[in-house]
Chains A and B, each alone.
Chain A
Amino acid sequence: MNIIDKIPLATQPKINKAHLVERLGKVLPNSSLLHKREELKPFECDGMTAYRKVPLVTALPETEEQVIDILKICSAEGVPVVFRGAGTGLSGGAIPCETGVLLGLSKLNKILEIDQNARFARVQPGVRNIAISEATSKHGLYYAPDPSSQIACSIGGNVAENSGGVHCLKYGLTVHNILKVRFITIDGEVLELGSDGLDSAGYDLMALITGSEGLLGVITEITVKLVPSPQIAKIALVAFDSVQNAGDAVNNIISAGIVPAGLEMMDKKATAAVEEFVKAGYPLDAEAILLCESDGTVEEVENEMLSIKEIVKKAGATEIRVAQNDAERTKFWMGRKSAFPAVGRVLPDYLCMDGTIPRKKLAFVLQKISDFSNEFNLQCANVFHAGDGNLHPLIMFDASDDDQLHRAEKFGAAILELCVEVGGSITGEHGVGIEKINQMCVQFGTEELKMFHAIKKAFDHNGLLNPGKAIPTLQRCAEFGAMHVHRGQEKFPDIPRF
């Protein structure tokens, strides 16, 4: 039995499929309404491939009006709805509901406006992240957040997850880089959140819906901020013979008042997998490597690189290689950005953890992860947004072996709970989805969860949007809490146990 079996993804009574298809057929062209088993199969999972569910129907609307119509029908019929962008999410957020509609945004894929002077682009949610920068580069502008999945993932999915990337230490996450969002509730109400200025009237609902994982409504249009392409960017590949030294180098760089454009770390296992896959030229004997990028004006970068080299040398770097040209720079990044698929080639499945920790705890946490790896007898490679304390341990296993899957889940849970214990969070950028639903009970107490449910209710009174994901019910936590103790007390003492 795995996580998904324990989650009531379908909380609704049985839905009459034929009736639903007939109603949706009145507002959608045939090509946008899939309901045969073989058509539905491709939508059964997202980037967390170990878990699958086939939706009742898949709707692929071509216009915002169709989105509104679909939601109104689902609301009236009491049908659950799960939104899907490109399906690259790593926490199971887009896994369908078997008794509901999967609403895919992939056909809403147009760039509607680029305003070079005011430096923004207005786009539909299905536009791929990288397509925005491609379309705006001729103006010397780009969209800064760059998840490693950027060639595939959608900007709507990025907003729904508050995605980050390797440059977000300096440039921020999705939430820092959007100006305005068109947002539709389950009742079909269209809301404009944010503005063309830098703030808007009322509560900061744009921040609230960013990272809300499709639980509050659907994003149908996004105005993203564009930033000027730096005059120049330089990257150094630095090798260390211990993780501790690499961690110290990271802290010393930040303490020196430098905020590099990117500061990434990979351990030996990750480096080996990547080298095998893309031949990025990484040293194979290093215990840890750092990728440190500086961008800005020519003078700025020159100075910053000098300081960085000095600091890493002092921290015990065994090799410093500065990319000599753009091609080499791209190659260095290519290695890092291919880390997940590279690891995916070693064994058929991986669970990608996403905990965040205070940076100073890095060496301690990595040691613990290595202990867990022995305990659960599974391999684990570590890639790490080191600058902002976001770890991605990749637990490798074969999901066709139930025991391995079970051990992988337990290994993952142990890592996340460790992150909370050292003062961090269970997820920095991949979201909770179904994957980390139990660990939400470790990070939050009853009162916080009640507040989350109250907020959800204000948007989605009947709980039709992405049911069972992201925010656990109090009952679920009570059940889970029987095994766990939080902040020294038993959690959810007043909820009956099952």
Chain B
Amino acid sequence: MDLNLKKIKDTISNAQKNKQALRIVGGDTKNFFGNKAELPLLSTSKFEGIVDYEPSELVITAKAGTKIVQVEELLRQNNQILAFEPPIFGFDSTLGGCIASGFSGPRRAYAGSARDFVLGIKMLNNVGEELQFGGQVMKNVAGYDVSRLMTGSFGTLGLILEVSLKVLPRPEHELTLTYELDEKDAINKINVWAGKALPLSGSCFIGSTLSVRLSGNTSAVNAAKQIMGGEINEDTTFWHKLRNQELEFFNKNSDLWRISLKSTTVPLELGPTLIEWNGALRWLYPNCTSDIIFEKAKKAGGHAMIFRSKIGNLTGQQQVAGDLLKLHEKLKHAMDPDNLFNPFRIHRSY
């Protein structure tokens, strides 16, 4: 057996015997997110490498510790992409961490999210046994969809060991158009476009500028440009910076909130805002109390959380309550009965 794998398994079974909870880390680039308990670390970063990649099958399989930049580089050489554009918050960012967090970037509203592209996983349970769900094929409905359940669960249900992802061809051509308008008009405009057959692949509103990315074959992108007008933005690094939160907007010295809601929701008017995903994702530096944010998010059919805090507030806490919370607790107990994995990282009760 792979020595690194053996080490991981041993750490888990020892922890299980001693009822000692663990904090799972890949590249530890998302340690700004969630409850940072002082727990012994269980690192996947040495368990790395591409397991299988056949471009014509549109599937890549790699070990959890494989760096996302390495995965993307291999895909680039074969003219393919991770279409959910996972944010990369540091060179060390790993595939396991990427899937455990389930974060998705600008293309998410058009191509799908991390969980949409997960085809299968291998994982370790609370006694260090290997389990395998899903697979390397596009369609698989045998058994419950544990692979997608694990996506975005922040390591609280088990350790992700290996992931198979669907990949897509790199679009032949991309183009960014910009428009000057106010927030309300921007939300309207982008939602109207999203309801038309146009090759959209990204949208971002900051200040008074709406940027829209088009992707597809060259003639289709050019034809869409004719319909949509606007100015061409030559800065090809814009979407990359947005994806990794490297834009100027993200530099403020206070709490950054993430609000996911119905795309057509009118401007929240709670402070400086950056809008993505046709309006369905709002990044906010609020000038109001959290109660107001939670209430507005709920009214708009969504949810809110502090994503980053430069002033020491608790981030990444999920608003789950009532019967739904009870079910979360039962599920956590079913999959991690000894509460070994990342306890309370994203919720005070699981």
A: which residues have CB within 8 A of B? Answer: 115-119, 139-141, 161-162, 164, 168-169, 172-173, 175-176, 180, 185, 189-193, 195-205, 207-208, 210-212, 216, 228-231, 251-252, 254-255, 257-259, 296-300, 302-304, 356-360, 385, 387-390, 423-432, 436, 440, 443-445, 447-448, 451-452, 454-459, 470-471
Query: A-contacting residues of B (Cβ < 8 Å)?
Result: 54-59, 79, 102, 108-109, 112-113, 115-116, 125, 129-133, 135-146, 148-149, 151-153, 157, 168-170, 172, 191-192, 194-199, 216-217, 219-220, 222-224, 260-264, 277, 280-281, 300-303, 305, 318-320, 323-324, 326-328, 330-331, 333-335, 347
The contact of B334 among A161, A201, A455, by CB within 8 Å, is A455
List, in ascending order, chain B residues with CB within 8 A of A119's CB. Answer: 191, 194-195, 263
User: Which residues of A lie under 8 Å from residue B323 when comparing CB positions?
Assistant: 185, 189-191
- Cβ-closest 7 pairs across A and B: A196-B301, A257-B169, A428-B139, A207-B148, A388-B138, A300-B220, A299-B219
A195 touches B301 (CB 8 A): yes
- Asked if B116 and A303 sit within 8 Å, CB to CB, the answer is no
Asked if residues B138 and A196 are in contact (CB atoms below 8 Å), the reply is no
User: Would you call B196 and A423 a contact (CB within 8 A)?
Assistant: no
Residues from chain B with a CB closer than 8 A to the CB of A198 are 108-109, 113, 260, 277, 280-281
Q: Chain A contacts of B153 at CB under 8 A? A: 203-204
Contact B170 A297 (CB under 8 A): no
- For B116, B137, B318, the residue with the greatest tally of chain A CB atoms inside 10 Å of its CB is B137
Say whether B136 contacts A423, CB under 8 Å: yes
Residue numbers in A under 8 Å from B216 (CB-CB): 296-297, 300
Task: Give chain A nearest CB distance to B221 CB in angstroms.
Answer: 9
In the complex the two chains form, is A389's CB within 8 Å of B280's CB?
no
Smallest Cβ distance from B213 to chain A, in angstroms? 16
CB-based nearest B residue for A119:
B195
Q: Which of B139, B262, B326 contacts A164 (CB 8 A)?
A: B139
Residues of B with C-beta under 8 A to A390: 138-139
Are A212 and B144 touching (Cβ within 8 A)?
yes
A451 with B131: CB separation less than 8 A? yes
Residue of A nearest to B168 (CB): A259
CA distance A191 to B330 in the complex (A): 14
B142 smallest CB distance to A (angstroms): 5
Point out the residues of chain B lying under 8 angstroms from A173, CB to CB.
Answer: 139
Per the bound structure, the CA–CA distance linking A429 and B138 in Å amounts to 11
Q: Complex formed: what's the CA distance from A457 to B335 in Å? A: 11
Given contacts A208-B148, A297-B224, A300-B220, is CB(A169)–CB(B138) below 8 Å?
yes
Separation of A202 and B131 alpha carbons in the complex (Å)? 23
29 pairs, A vs B, C-beta closer than 8 Å: A162-B145, A164-B139, A172-B116, A191-B327, A196-B262, A197-B302, A199-B102, A202-B328, A203-B152, A204-B151, A205-B327, A207-B151, A211-B145, A228-B198, A257-B172, A259-B169, A297-B220, A300-B217, A423-B136, A423-B137, A428-B139, A428-B140, A429-B141, A447-B131, A451-B125, A452-B143, A452-B144, A454-B335, A458-B327
Q: How far is the CA of A179 from the CA of B343 in the complex (A)?
A: 28
Task: Output the least CB separation between B278 and chain A (Å).
Answer: 9
Smallest CB-CB separation from A211: which chain B residue?
Answer: B141
Q: In the docked arrangement, what's the CA distance between A207 and B141, Å?
A: 11
**Which B residues lie within 8 Å of A431 (CB)?**
141
Contact between chains at B281 and A197 (CB < 8 Å): yes
Known: A203-B328, A255-B55. A425 touches B137 (CB 8 A): yes
Contact between A201 and B320 (Cβ–Cβ < 8 Å)?
Answer: yes
Residue of B nearest to A423 (CB): B136
**CB <8 Å contact, A192 and B324:** yes
Chain B residue contacts of A443, Cβ below 8 A: 142-143
Query: Which listed residue (A116, A300, A455) contacts B335, Cβ 8 A?
Result: A455
- A201-B56 in contact (CB<8A): no
Which of B125, B137, B148, B220 is in CB contact (< 8 Å) with A424? Answer: B137
B54 near A360 (CB under 8 angstroms)? yes
Question: Nearest Cβ in chain B — how far from A442, in angstroms?
Answer: 10
Write the chain B residue with the least CB distance to A471.
B143
**Apart from A175-B145, A360-B56, A455-B335, what 18 extra A-B contacts exist at CB < 8 Å?**
A116-B195, A173-B139, A185-B327, A198-B280, A201-B305, A202-B318, A202-B328, A203-B331, A211-B141, A228-B196, A254-B57, A255-B55, A356-B137, A360-B54, A443-B142, A447-B131, A451-B334, A454-B335
